[in-house]
Structure 1
Amino acid sequence: MKAGNMKKQDVKRKIIFSDFFRNNGILMGSVLIGLVGFWLIFLIILPQLSMLDYSFRFNLPPSEQGGPKDVYTLNNYRHLLYGSDTSGETYNTVDLMVFGRTILAAMMVTIFNIILCYPLAYLLGQSKGSGLIRLLVVLLIIPYWINEILRAFALRIIFGDSGLLNEVLMFLHLTDGPIDFIRQNVALYAGLGYAYILLMLFPMYNVIESLDRNQIEAARDMGASWLHIHRRIVIPHAKPGIASGATMVFMLTAGALAAPQVLGGPSSLWFTQLVYQWFNNSLNWQQGAAYAIVLLFATIVIVLTVMRIFKVNMGDIGK
């Protein structure tokens, strides 16, 4: 059975490649494959392998690098677990709590974006391209012409003690004084959700747009409620788009740096900020590489686990 399946997969790959070259031509097809290969190898794989190698090295001065002391070690990973305690009896609770809080916050931002974007994506996908919907799409895109750091500072002004949001709440007598949205991390989570909202919206929209409206009409004629229509028809069809958007939002949120630096409160240290401190403040690239590798592998494992739970594979996302 396995040999037969492998043969079928080989035949399928050959058909895909032949169709690709037939549609794009030998020259253009080769150029496209070469560019993608260059991007994958030189901009992703090799830098990550270099980072992985760094993470197993001692932080040595340049004169000792390549010498007898320059050997592989697990000390950089042990530091994340135990900190400066070489005995391994006391855990590095500070860094571990920052790591756990970062992963949990990235999950919450991703779930928030799914809940927020799904109704909007359904509206856009089933609107038959009206002028109002086109205007709405343009209004969603225009704010992203502004640099991410400037948007973060704008949000900090909005959520500040004397910002627009507090002024409106006090004007409406909904609060007696300004609310510290920065210290309570409301500004941070709102900023992260806003920063990557289009990466959740458009994958959903592209998939829902391809849904045959006749299926919805037929289900409605048979007496199905809106809840059943979305649970049985729309959401299963939109699952690849939801998975694609959730993957990008979760990975980018967990690896965000600008928004936590600008919008984060005193107690909202992000794990990427620890990585930044090891690289730039402590000049310990080996330790920073170990922290970065841990974050990378943790997010990949979480994404693959969630995809397996919801029965989504990479082929579905690539459609």
Structure 2
Amino acid sequence: MSEVLRRYGPVLTGIILLAVAVWLALLVVLPQLMMVDFSFRPSLPPARLGGPEDVYTVRNYATLWTNQIHLAIFVKTIWASALVTLTTLVVCYPIAFYLAQVAPRRRVPLFILMLVVPFWINELLRTFAWYIILAYNGPLNAILLALGLTDEPQRFLGGDAGVIVGMVYVYILFMVFPIHNAIESLDRNQIEAARDLGAGWLRIHRRIVIPHAKPGIAVGCIMTFMLAAGSYAVPALLGGPNSRWFTEIIYNWFFEGGNWNQGAAYAFILLVLCIGFILLAMRLFRVGLTDIAK
């Protein structure tokens, strides 16, 4: 704070803080408070709002536990989002380590640009690209048939596999960059010293690299899980009736069922789930908010 005051002066610093406070109040705090208020009220016609039936109740929250279909989709969304997070971590950790410690410095900007350029395209278009790749008559099936790895085209769309593949691709940068930033600060001499003492690569990563990169891994896992659990476009485009996401149920309550109160309750349950995952990740990786902020 003192650095900001020194750089911008008290007047400009006050304006910046006021703008941030207004932004947080109008776009973050107020909508959440309205969502909570909606979630505890029954869905009533406009003429009956404010009447004796318009009272606070937990009926909207109880609906999830009594509707076995929605509960199964909610549980599936949790484990599928965790699987997306784990898969993205497995894919991105080697990439981040290579960029941070192995790749020549003069080539790192080119490699990072190669990662970033595809994400200049809108998320919907990138998801549609995977829809084409995974289609029944798409290029992936054509390659598998040409190589003789399968006798007939496979159906990758309409199930959880296509959704998970699409999400891993869509959110890959949210895992790569936090881990890369954490590993980049690791002194290479520590790795060289461990190798000179006879440590193998697995031990080097387990004892040196991963402990140093824990804040970056925690940030990447938190961001990926929250984005996956709250995703709507990817499961809607790449999934099917058997791979519905909890966000699709929320969307249906709001825009098809017209029951904003029930949709708000479901949305708040998902929000609590994401907050719980953040706390679990911080405890699992033994990092605090200060470590994550770095």
TM-score bin (small chain): over 0.9
With normalisation by structure 2, the TM-score equals 0.96
With normalisation by structure 1, the TM-score equals 0.88
Q: Take 1:317 and 1:113, find their aligned partners in 2: how far apart are those partners?
A: 19
- SS at 2:142's partner residue? helix
Check conservation: 1:260, 1:270, Cα contact below 8 A: yes
Matched residue, 1:106: 81
- SS at 2:149's partner residue? coil
Among candidates 255, 273, 284, match of residue 298 of structure 1? 273
- Cα deviation, residue 162, structure 1: 0.4
Matched residue, 1:181: 156
- SS at 1:47's partner residue? helix
- Cα deviation, residue 128, structure 1: 6.4
- Cα deviation, residue 266, structure 1: 2.5
1:46 aligns with 2:46: no
- Cα deviation, residue 129, structure 1: 5.4
Unaligned runs of 5+ in 1: 1-16, 83-91
Q: Take 1:127 and 1:39, find their aligned partners in 2: how far apart are those partners?
A: 41
Q: Take 2:18 and 2:220, find their aligned partners in 1: how far apart are those partners?
A: 27
- 1:256-275 alignment runs, 5 A limit: 256-275=231-250
Check conservation: 2:215, 2:285, Cα contact below 8 A: no
User: Which 10-residue stretch deviates more, 272-281 or 301-310?
Assistant: 301-310
Q: Take 1:156 and 1:44, find their aligned partners in 2: how far apart are those partners?
A: 33
Q: Take 1:39 and 1:233, find their aligned partners in 2: how far apart are those partners?
A: 41
In the TM superposition, what whole-angstrom CA distance separates every residue of 1:159-184 from its partner, at most 9, and x where no partner exists? 01100100000000100000111134
User: Which 10-residue stretch deviates more, 182-191 or 249-258?
Assistant: 182-191
Unaligned runs of 5+ in 2: none
Check conservation: 2:158, 2:238, Cα contact below 8 A: no
Matched residue, 1:149: 124
Aligned residues: 294
- 1:95-244 alignment runs, 5 A limit: 95-127=70-102, 130-244=105-219
User: Which 10-residue stretch deviates more, 29-38 or 298-307?
Assistant: 29-38
Q: Take 2:249 and 2:193, find their aligned partners in 1: how far apart are those partners?
A: 54
Matched residue, 2:16: 32
- SS at 1:178's partner residue? coil
Q: Take 1:222 and 1:29, find their aligned partners in 2: how far apart are those partners?
A: 52
1:63 aligns with 2:47: yes
Q: Take 1:119 and 1:125, find their aligned partners in 2: how far apart are those partners?
A: 10
- Cα deviation, residue 314, structure 1: 1.2
